[in-house]
């Protein structure tokens, strides 16, 4: 999972390098965030990892990546408001978009290096109190970078830069390993699939029926 994270974060870094200040201020579908604030959010959610890795490891994992997205207080209006504010504050703390992009790159690269030094069975505790395998928590970060990467690409009017590795990881999270091949009958590429199943693009009646037959694991997103 670390490889998927590394590749997707690297693509996002390259995509935002060299943006004009006008582009940084473009609105996104993740209201009220602009492009710079949405990147600030992605940076914030990655930056939880160093503190988690510095903390003591729980005895065992209790929550999977799918269970992490359960609809509880972590996605309440109050928590979402705090999430919005954190991203805005982080973005505002940089002199310009280029500085924010450099900070994002430095953050994910630090996380990548720290995770490389951890054993495969490392368990971490999230800020919400969940005991998770590091690999499962990294999968949730792949979701963040991949899905918000689509949001940023759309806001900037660019083709999606979703990597095959990240797309496959998120697809398996949503469908389970046994249903990934079945999803091909929908005829969607991976960016379209992710937009559809995360509410970023509308489903028609036929598509809704097919999705229900696939037994998708709906996840709650803030």
Q: What is the pLDDT of residues 118-169, one digit of tens each?
A: 999 999 999 889 999 999 999 999 999 999 999 999 999 999 999 999 998 9
C-alpha dist (Å) from residue 83 to 13, 102, 121, 209, 222: 22, 21, 29, 33, 8
Kindly give the pairing relationship between strand 123-125 and strand 131-133.
antiparallel
Of these ranges, 82-86, 180-184, 185-189, the one predicted with the greatest mean pLDDT is 82-86
Structure tokens that stand for 210 in this block: 């097919």
**Average pLDDT of the residues of the chain:** 90
pTM of the model: 0.90
How far is the C-alpha of 100 from the C-alpha of 90, rounded, in Å? 9
Dihedral angle, C-alpha 143, 110, 104, 46, nearest 10 °: 30
* Best CA proximity match to 152, nearest among 33, 67, 63: 33
* Best CA proximity match to 137, nearest among 205, 197, 69, 210: 69
Query: Peptide bond before 69: cis, by omega within 30 degrees of 0?
Result: no
User: Cα 75 to the chain's mean position, in Å?
Assistant: 15
Predicted local distance difference test score (pLDDT) of residue 32 = 95
Lowest mean pLDDT among 4-8, 15-19, 169-173: 169-173
Q: What is the pLDDT of residues 8-50, one digit of tens each?
A: 999 999 999 999 999 999 999 999 999 999 999 999 999 999 9
With bands split at pLDDT 50, 70 and 90, how would you rate the model's confidence at 113? very high
């Amino acid at each position: 999972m670390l490889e998927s994270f590394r590749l997707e974060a690297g693509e996002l870094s390259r995509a935002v390098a060299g943006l004009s200040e006008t582009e940084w201020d473009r609105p996104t579908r993740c209201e009220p965030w602009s492009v710079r604030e949405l990147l600030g959010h992605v940076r914030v959610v990655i930056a939880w990892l160093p503190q988690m890795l510095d903390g003591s490891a729980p005895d065992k994992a209790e929550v999977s990546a799918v269970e992490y997205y359960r609809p509880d207080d972590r996605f309440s209006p109050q928590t979402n408001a705090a999430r919005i504010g954190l991203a805005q504050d982080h973005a505002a703390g940089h002199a310009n978009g280029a500085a924010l992009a450099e900070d994002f790159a430095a953050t994910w690269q630090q996380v990548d290096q720290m995770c490389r030094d951890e054993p495969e069975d490392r368990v971490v505790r999230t800020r919400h109190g969940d005991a998770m395998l590091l690999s499962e928590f990294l999968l949730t970060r792949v979701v963040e970078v991949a899905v918000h990467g689509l949001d940023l690409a759309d806001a900037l009017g660019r083709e999606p830069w979703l990597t095959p590795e990240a797309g496959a990881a998120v697809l398996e999270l949503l469908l389970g390993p046994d249903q990934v091949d079945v999803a091909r009958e929908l005829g969607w590429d991976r960016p379209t699939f992710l937009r559809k199943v995360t509410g970023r693009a509308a489903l028609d009646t036929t598509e809704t029926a097919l999705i229900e037959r696939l037994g998708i694991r709906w996840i709650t997103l803030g």
